[in-house]
Structure 1
Amino acid sequence: MAKNDKLYDLIIVGGGPIGIACALEAEKKALSYLILEKGTVVNSLYNYPTNMQFFSTSEKLELDEIPFISKEAKPSKQEALEYYRRIATSRRLNMKLFEKVEAVENACDVFQVTTTKSNHSARNIILATGFYDLPNLMNVPGEELHKVFHYYDDPHLYAFQKVAVVGASNSAVDAALEIYRKGGDVTMIVRGNEIGDRVKYWVKPDVENRIKEGSIKALFNAQIVKIEQDIIKIDQKGQEITLENDFVLALTGYRPNFKMLKSLGVKLEGKMKKPVYDSQTMETNVPGIYLAGVVCGGLETHKWFIENSRAHAALIAEHIANK
């Protein structure tokens, strides 16, 4: 154990909703804990688009039966930030912010955690790291240009600009519609032959109708092959298309930090790189290391979300308490 360092029952890596849920369950079991978050409270939610509205209703985003009151049935990003921040404040959660985990080592059944600011020790580690930090890259020439973004925030930046939105998921559809309504000239570039079937049911008809009327252009069965300062080159069924372009929003999805999982010895299975864990306890193949939230699905990032992974926290706390 590091000098002058407290030995915690568990360290939670990630201060998002599921990390907070794990802390609340740890308190119920009288387990000492520390949340380590590389950014602000619920950092991933903070970096979601400004105008984002959740798919889930507010009660399905609640933690520990603490009421989540929202103006509409499906809460906004700002309402969620306020809700989770108030939980962290009112419950006085033991949380260190802007402290990124750099390494975890197992020494005599005690995990030594090195961060950008300090060292900590714990008997158990919970990885509640989500998936929003690592975008799926297109791996095409020009992707490094300043006009290319893998995250979308606010449509105002793209007003009166020629914008290529890559993807057909919720994030891509929301961006395309918002930018179009702020005066942007939007072209969606979609690898498949239609808008994704998991797009929010109240949004999907909107974007399909905008495409049908020509307000938003869409190239299906297409992909960008090269990005230049003023143009992009697209391959559509073997035909090369050149478009004038000011910005590229490559909203092609995100992935968990597999490098961290591998470094800890957690096994990954199959093409989807699903981490190995016991679904009854959430403990991985490495004793003392647990998974909670989206990270459990590997590349299937649509499988777990706040609504259905809140239960992971109670399973983990119960298992650790009974050791």
Structure 2
Amino acid sequence: MPHDIIIVGGGPIGIACALEAQKHGMSYLILEKGPIVNSLFNYPINMQFFSSSEKLEVGSVPFISKEAKPKRDEALEYYRRIVTSNDLNIHLFEEVAHVQKKATLFQVKTSKAAYQAKNIIVATGFYDIPNSMNVPGEELAKVTHYYKDPHFYAKQKVAVIGASNSSVDAALECYRKGADVTMIIRGSGIGERVKYWVKPDIENRIKEGSIKAFYNAEVVEITPNSISFKIGDTLHSLENDYVLALTGYKPNFEFLKNIGIELSADEKLYPVYNEDTMESNVENLYLAGVICGGMDTHLWFIENSRIHADLIIQDILKKI
């Protein structure tokens, strides 16, 4: 029998959708290509959320943390316990390859099996595809678009590309573990959305010279032993061991287009959906979470997209 709902993505919002579906006695299946809350699992080990714990809660389940703003390990524990204690129907390490609507049912093919569903919820987030710098040497092993543990970079010359929360966290942590850190920043300063309790720290470290920073700079080439960048017409080159290219991430737009979702014609690539129901231009196919923001990945996050679960399930219930 087809499921009432298949949820693509087992992150916090996908879990919230499953809880809401389960509450109303609907048959559902979460398909997650990695472990539970795969994106959070791949966050830096010491990452601390901007939001306080109660704003990360889903399904009215309390989130108790040691500090007001929880860290990655506490979030993993919280969402894992929700999945296990509610015995959510979730298939892990099973990637969705294709979704196609035939008549009134969606045909879903994964890396392991095939399924049918009356409704689809896409809650895939945006952390899987890094924004490329498109420069020579970006493919070198010394370059990574993901940052995990600062210990690895101790006593190394590290270039951090960007001035967002992830870049600032990486620069500070690597510096404090003994790395020689240089930030290469396209803009004129540290990002305005950097966590307010971290921003003074990075600015003071730059001011005192503990962390070097180059502003209005654009990377032009990476070699095994150096990194080159331009400021205006002036070319700079630094000795370098590792590059943390924390240039942001984007949703899988090809997946969205392949399943029939229309995107805006501008560079933002906003997917088309009804803000009152979260239903896309494809009937009975819904969007939830950060995926709704297109390239503006800062518009939606756990705190303000938890409501998507209720909007979606209520709309599905009205159609039954």
Partner of 1:302: 298
Letter in 1 for 2:153: Y
Partner of 1:288: 284
Give the distance between the partners of 1:224 and 1:284, measured in 2 at CA: 38
Give the Å deviation of 1:152: 0.2
Contact 1:31–1:321 (8 Å) recurs in 2? no
Q: After the TM superposition, which segments of 4 or more aligned residues of structure 1 sit over 2 Å from their partners?
A: none
TM-score, reference length from structure 2:
0.99
SS in 1 for 2:16: helix
Identity across the alignment (%): 66
TM-score, reference length from structure 1:
0.98
Give the distance between the partners of 1:231 and 1:27, measured in 2 at CA: 54
Partner of 1:63: 58
Give the Å deviation of 1:27: 1.2
Q: How do 1:85-124 and structure 2 match up within 5 A?
A: 85-124=80-119
1:77 equivalent to 2:72? Answer: yes
Give the Å deviation of 1:64: 1.5
The one-character-per-residue Cα deviations of 1:55-81 (angstroms, maximum 9, x if unpaired) are: 000000011211111000000100000
Contact 1:232–1:243 (8 Å) recurs in 2? yes
Letter in 2 for 1:29: H
Give the distance between the partners of 1:140 and 1:91, measured in 2 at CA: 47
Partner of 1:152: 147
Give the Å deviation of 1:288: 1.2
Give the distance between the partners of 1:160 and 1:84, measured in 2 at CA: 36
Partner of 2:267: 271
1:236 equivalent to 2:237? Answer: no
Give the distance between the partners of 1:179 and 1:254, measured in 2 at CA: 21
Letter in 2 for 1:129: T
Partner of 2:240: 245
Partner of 2:160: 165
| The one of 188, 191, 195 aligned to 1:193 | 188
Partner of 1:30: 25
Contact 1:226–1:234 (8 Å) recurs in 2? yes
Give the distance between the partners of 1:298 and 1:120, measured in 2 at CA: 27
Give the distance between the partners of 2:66 and 2:203, measured in 1 at CA: 28
Give the Å deviation of 1:126: 0.3
Letter in 2 for 1:290: Y
The one-character-per-residue Cα deviations of 1:95-146 (angstroms, maximum 9, x if unpaired) are: 0000000011111111000000000100111000000000001010000000
Letter in 2 for 1:203: V
Give the Å deviation of 1:235: 0.8
Give the Å deviation of 1:34: 0.2
Give the distance between the partners of 1:73 and 1:125, measured in 2 at CA: 35
Give the Å deviation of 1:31: 1.3
Give the distance between the partners of 1:289 and 1:190, measured in 2 at CA: 39
The one-character-per-residue Cα deviations of 1:226-275 (angstroms, maximum 9, x if unpaired) are: 00000111111111001000000000000001001100111111221000
Letter in 1 for 2:302: I
Structure 1: any 5+ residue segments left out of the alignment? 1-5
Letter in 1 for 2:152: L
Partner of 1:7: 2
1:215 equivalent to 2:210? Answer: yes
1:319 equivalent to 2:319? Answer: no
Q: Cα RMSD over matched residues?
A: 0.6
Give the Å deviation of 1:223: 1.3
Give the distance between the partners of 2:296 and 2:111, measured in 1 at CA: 30
Structure 2: any 5+ residue segments left out of the alignment? none
SS in 2 for 1:165: strand
SS in 1 for 2:310: helix
SS in 2 for 1:187: strand
Give the Å deviation of 1:20: 0.2
**Aligned residue-pair number:** 318
Give the distance between the partners of 1:213 and 1:223, measured in 2 at CA: 23
